[in-house]
Structure 1
Amino acid sequence: WSRSRSRASVLGEFGGGRFQMVNHTSTEVGWGYAKKKLPNCEAFVAEVKAQWEKASRVGLSAAVYTQLTDVESEWNGLLTYDRELKCASLMTRTLRPAIL
Structure 2
Amino acid sequence: MRFQRSLRDRVLRQEHEEDGQEYSYFAWVDWGATADDPTGLLRTWEVPGGAEREQRYLPGTGWRTSYVLEDWHCGRQDGRFDRVDQATAEQIIQRWEQRRVE
* TM-score, reference length from structure 2: 0.28
Structure number having the greater helix percentage: 2
Structure number having the greater strand percentage: 2
